[in-house]
Amino acid sequence: MFNLILFGPPGSGKGTQSDLLIQTYGFLHLSTGELLRDEVNRKTPLGIEAQMFMDEGQLVPDEVVIGMIDSKLNNNPAAKGIIFDGFPRTVAQAKALDKLLELKHTKIHTLVALDVPEEELKKRLLQRGKESGRSDDNEVTITKRITEYKNKTQPVADYYDQHGKLESVMGVGSIEDIFHNIQKVLERYVAPLKNPAS
Ligand code: B4P
């Protein structure tokens, strides 16, 4: 089993690159952002709590997201590989994830960090806000999310760097070129599917 963390600030392209990785490698995709938005849309108690944080540009409490990931891992014991997209976002989440994987006799193999300047992030997220109507893609919330990222999430990259698992990839340029550079990292660990989904 191969486990990848796709890492980067809001709008760095984690979701976009995850789609290509799933098609090419057949990995299971665990996006805490998507899982939370699904809970919000279904108006579950967890979703109602999470929405208050997401609309303020804040991270949802650790115990909420760790619980969600735990149950997803338990429901997918046969996955050949997992992309963790947008998780972990705090060092506490990273430590909890390492423990969960250890119980399953596996580990994080590598963290790929997408490097994108702040101005480009803001431009992309404002554009997505116009097109998708996502309530957290507005000027005020985007600034808060980038601040949360710097304070709470950036240390996650340092944590995995200390374990020799950090790989940085430039996240500006065409989506295909960025994907190609991620593949160069992954080829050390896994081979693409023979007949990738399109
Ligand atoms: P997420 O859903 O993870 O959203 P994101 O970080 O904003 O987006 P991502 O980086 O995936 O960007 P995308 O590919 O879509 O989180 C949303 C919120 O949920 C968080 O703020 C937080 O409140 C909560 N949350 C989630 N996980 C949590 C956790 N673990 N703990 C606590 N709270 C959590 O790309 C963005 C845009 O850029 C797209 O429109 C795309 O088309 C464009 N784009 C992508 N690549 C491009 C390229 N190469 N060039 C030009 N544009 C590009």
pLDDT (tens digit, 9 = 90+) per residue, 106-155? Answer: 999 999 999 999 999 999 999 999 999 888 999 999 999 999 999 999 99
- Per-residue model confidence as pLDDT tens digits over 94-103: 999 999 999 9
Instruction: Name the pLDDT band for 87 (thresholds 50, 70, 90).
Output: very high
Burial of 5-38, coded b for 16+ CB within 10 Å and e otherwise, reads bbbbbbbbbbbbbbebbbebbbbbbbbbbebbbe
pLDDT at position 133 is 84
Residue nearest to atom 16 of ligand 1 (CA): 33
Helical H segments across 104-197, by residue range: 118-132, 139-148, 154-162, 175-186
State in Å: Cα 133 to ligand 1 middle: 14
Which candidate, 128, 122, 175, places its Cα nearest to that of 16?
A: 175
State in Å: Cα 15 to ligand 1 middle: 6
Checking if the pLDDT of 198 tops 70, the result is: no
Residues sharing a CB contact under 8 Å with residue 183, sequence separation 6 or more, in sequence order? 24, 192
Query: Annotated active-site positions, please?
Result: 14, 89, 128, 134, 145
| Consecutive H or E run containing 81 | strand 81-85
Residue nearest to atom 15 of ligand 1 (CA): 15
- Per-residue model confidence as pLDDT tens digits over 50-86: 999 999 999 999 999 999 999 999 999 888 899 999 9
As for ligand 1, residues whose beta carbon falls within 6 Å of it are 8, 10-16, 32-33, 36, 53-54, 59-60, 65, 86-87, 89, 93, 124, 128, 136, 145, 175, 178
